[in-house]
Amino acid sequence: MSIALVSIIVLVVGVIFVNGWTDAPNAIATAVSTRSITPKGGVMVAAVFNLLGVLVMTWISPKVAETISKLCNFDSIGGSGRSLVVLAAAMFAIVLWAVLAWFFGIPTSESHALIAGLTGSALALGGLDAINMSEWGKVFIGLGISSVLGFTFGYGINRGLEKTCRNLNRPKANRFFRRGERVMAGVMAFLHGAQDGQKFIGVFLLGLFLNGRVNKTADGFFVIPFWLMLLCALVMSLGTSIGGYRIIKSVGMDMVKLEVHQGFSSDLAAASCLLLSTLFGIPLSTTHTKTTSMVGVACSRRASAVDWRVVMEMISAWVITFPFCGLIGYLMAKLFLLIF
């Protein structure tokens, strides 16, 4: 096993752990903020259903993993040795970006960082020929789904629910939606695992293939070993189990104040976007999707219900992640190629 492959494995495991720690709590943020579930209970629900999401959805429909593994033409440009070095540089760039974002207090998305880091390093290897534009097109579709569709679904679902339930007994309706929120917390965690787990499985597969340790099927994708699915699922679940209340507070409490039925609407909207995207192999940020659905729900009542300062901070982070993390990936790849 080459040093580059060992580095890729170690770094990807680290990124998966951080993803479970920082991203997964977003899945249960609204359920906690509406007091439908306790923070401790929510984190445990997220840990269990993240694990199940990685295992079950990767087995049923591994299309997101396929998209990520085909995003860049590492296997056809530069030879397997150079490609492994560049892939290791991409993972190092993603970890470096995460550390810099943490140090400067920039809220960021590991999903966007992963795509940017891979793309930047591939450009250093083979220029534009190293980018698979047909697969990259799915990234742009994902940005549209998580932004426009997330907001629209959140707005529309909440308006529809409020009209349908306006004559119901309020305490009884709240009890119903509180139970629904507990269910949706598990659904959101499951789909977070399905989306983000597959992204990292795609990187793992690419590294193993370049090292000759997995083969491709007749349709050009990889045979996914069960041990790889289990490893990614367990690492993400472990990260989630020690995930912080601070993440829940930032998304679920500081940005938007939601009532229990609004939290249910937000989770239903975000879950719909995530499920559709996962089935069609479109990678998107679960944090991005959850955030825009919450803003859509809040705006269905009044725009002043949103703390737009927090929203702008998150938008700024999303905007700068692609160019800056991509640049770091490019520079790290050039450096690694010179050293190794």
Render pLDDT for 307-330 as a digit per residue (tens, 0 to 9).
777 677 777 777 888 999 999 999
- Say whether 116 sits in a helix, a strand or coil: helix
**Which pair of structure tokens corresponds to residue 124?**
């250093």
**Residue 310 in contact with residue 254, Cβ under 8 Å?**
yes
Q: Which residue has the tokens 């859509």?
A: 296
Q: What integer pLDDT is reported at residue 78 of this predicted model?
A: 65
**pLDDT by residue (tens digit) across 193-220?**
999 999 999 999 989 988 888 887 767 7
If you average pLDDT over every residue of the chain, what do you get?
85
Q: Which residue has the tokens 């309706």?
A: 173
**Residue 223 in contact with residue 65, Cβ under 8 Å?**
no
DSSP designation for 214: S
Nearest alpha-carbon partner for 297 in 202, 193, 179, 161: 161
Taking the whole predicted model, whether its pTM rises above 0.85 is answered as: yes
DSSP designation for 253: I
**Which pair of structure tokens corresponds to residue 27?**
């899945």
At 290, which amino acid appears? K
- Over pLDDT 90: what percentage of the chain? 41
Q: Which residue has the tokens 């938008």?
A: 315
Burial tier of 19 (Cβ tally within 10 Å: 0-12, 13-18, 19+): buried
Q: What integer pLDDT is reported at residue 327 of this predicted model?
A: 95
C-alpha 89/C-alpha 82 separation (Å) is 11
C-alpha 136/C-alpha 187 separation (Å) is 27
C-alpha 93/C-alpha 97 separation (Å) is 6
List the chain residues with pLDDT less than 70. Answer: 1, 24-25, 78, 102, 105-107, 218, 243-256, 310
Q: What integer pLDDT is reported at residue 248 of this predicted model?
A: 58
Virtual torsion, Cα 243, 204, 127, 277, nearest 10 deg:
-60
Q: Which residue has the tokens 């990889």?
A: 222
Spell out the alpha helix ranges (H) of the chain: 3-22, 29-33, 39-60, 63-69, 79-103, 110-126, 133-144, 150-164, 170-210, 226-241, 245-249, 260-279, 286-299, 308-339
